[in-house]
Chain A
């Protein structure tokens, strides 16, 4: 899964959107009896740092990954520092603004091992896509389980006073089972869309 690779948005907004992922490498880490416990330990570390969203605990115990989403780089830096100290030997991938991640990685005396970046534009029949602000919300689910028409529907209910922005963001978060949909960023974008 390319999970958080193709998230849309301008730099100012992306400063509040970071995904931390830990993964067991098949055939390597998972051959050790304690690897699952290590993954669960990372899940607990992420949970203890006030994520805006996190993979449900059943996922830590059954899938090869654990993921959580944060709305500031300071917290991510604290987490990286702890993970470095714990030295669990599992792969850690941080997703977000390259410049900010590079800075904090350097500050905790680590480096960039491998990068996966997105070519800026969507290719092919771009005319099929919804407007950019809607895409900023839908692309926060890496498996694209958040529908664009659910956003337009909830926006209509918000404008009619039948739904709050916070409740709409919570509803939009539900289909994303990996815990990488940034609920607080969705609130911000919905507020912008309501004013348009």
Chain B
């Protein structure tokens, strides 16, 4: 993003709406911190700049990688879905992406609202790859990986984004190992992250998986996303 300081009238509306606090006032003009800015375009869309001082810049590699991980309007070329995630369990009644005996995991780095450098992905993926997980092929994060050891493209590691979701599935028995990785990274990472667990449900018994996660020492929230099985191929 770019703010034309010679045009800016100093109203500060863009400072208010920026989700990552990347805009500040300097000498009564709005200035973007290029390092903090994740290229989400919220200022462009929602600040209602009265003098049209906010512009979208043509971004070059590797900075352009910030866009699909931050701008909700952008559709990633791998997923075909607006936003930074995939269909995951939302269409599981059609795709059978997650079957009985498998668990899906979504780890969203930078959420809620803090943002992350892409290098943080490796804190998880280098460990997860040793355990042996099946990464979601259509995830934008999977597309960043350059080997089967969980390393990502060196060129984009310093890029900062609003959030990045590592999506994968495992056989049910590997759940304790995955939760152990979450415990370790919890103490090492320089930002926040949120974790979701996906489970195909047998006989309407949602308690089984939630109790299991609780017994492994993790809280479970009372709200969730529930696919009610009306889809078909």
Q: Establish whether residues A1 and B226, one from each chain, have CB atoms under 8 Å apart when the complex forms.
A: no
- Find chain A residues with CB under 8 A from B36 CB: none
Residues A129 and B192 in contact, CB atoms below 8 Å apart: yes
Within 8 A of B (CB), among A79-114: 80, 83-84, 87-99, 101-102, 105-106, 110-114
Nearest B-chain residue to A19, judged by Cβ: B225
Q: How far is the CB of A67 from chain B (nearest CB, A)?
A: 10
C-beta contact mask, B186-230 vs A, less than 8 Å → 1, else 0?
Answer: 100111111111111100101001100100001111111111111
Q: Is the CB of A177 within 8 A of B73?
A: yes
Q: Mark B174-193, 1 if CB is under 8 A from A, else 0.
A: 00000000100110011111
Minimum C-beta distance from A9 to chain B (A): 8
Q: Which stretch, B12-20, B53-61, B149-157, touches the partner chain A?
A: B12-20
Inter-subunit contact A147/B206 (CB<8 Å): no
Q: In the complex, which of the residues A102, A128, A129, A147 has the most CB atoms of chain B within 10 Å of its own CB atom?
A: A147
Contacts of A29 in B (CB 8 A): 91, 94, 231, 233
* Residues of chain B within 8 A of A178, CB atoms compared: 72
What A residues does B225 contact at CB under 8 A?
2-5, 93-95, 115-117
Q: Determine if B37 is an interface residue (Cβ-Cβ < 8 Å).
A: no
- Binding stretch for chain B, among A45-53, A119-127, A183-191: A119-127
Number of interface residues, chain B, beta carbon within 8 A: 76
Return the CB mask of B85-116 against A: 1 if under 8 Å, else 0.
10111111111001000001010100111100
Whether A115 lies near B209 (C-beta < 8 A) is yes
Any chain A CB within 8 A of the CB of B141?
no
Partner-A contacts on B (CB < 8 A): 15-21, 40, 42, 45-46, 72-73, 80-85, 87-95, 98, 104, 106, 108, 111-114, 162-163, 165, 182, 185-186, 189-201, 204, 206, 209-210, 213, 218-233
8 interchain residue pairs of minimum CB distance: A120-B219, A91-B231, A113-B229, A1-B83, A25-B91, A117-B224, A1-B85, A25-B94
**Chain A to chain B contacts (Cβ below 8 Å), 19 pairs:** A3-B83, A63-B81, A64-B81, A83-B230, A89-B232, A102-B204, A111-B204, A113-B93, A113-B201, A114-B227, A115-B225, A118-B223, A119-B219, A119-B221, A124-B185, A145-B40, A145-B46, A147-B113, A174-B46
